[in-house]
Amino acid sequence: MGFLDFITGKKITTFEQAQEEAMRIGRENDLTDEQTAITLKRILRKNKISTPKDTQNKARGGVAKKAQMMRGGMANGKQHMYAAGGSVTENPGLKALKASGPKGMKAYNKIMGK
């Protein structure tokens, strides 16, 4: 029998019960939100209750998961990533410069860092 069981007289077995208990303790003792969250964590730890998956990210920063970038395609020998999908094409001017001859190829390679 843990300390909270001794105080409240009941066994806490679920996350919802622990949350209700933490809120009750917070209201009775005029605790701030941060102090109530700490109380909830202590109750969960003492009773060996894990947090549900959907509350774990919120507890660690409150920011939802960022949208993943999509592959935009290959261009100039590099894989490009874009948030909205999109596609990558080589600049038409650079294509023309590359095809213009040896001097153009040298300039193209200098621009592209090759």
pLDDT of residue 103: 92
* Residue found by looking up tokens 């003492």 in the block: 46
pLDDT of residue 102: 92
Cβ neighbour number for residue 25 with a 10 Å cutoff: 19
pTM greater than the 0.75 cutoff: no
Task: Read off the pLDDT of residues 14-69 as tens digits, 9 standing for 90 and up.
Answer: 888 888 888 889 889 888 888 998 998 888 888 888 877 655 555 555 566 656 55
Task: Read off the pLDDT of residues 58-88 as tens digits, 9 standing for 90 and up.
Answer: 555 556 665 655 666 666 667 766 656 555 6
Query: What residue ranges do the domains of the chain occupy?
Result: 3-59, 70-112
pLDDT of residue 112: 79
The three-state secondary structure class of 72 is: strand
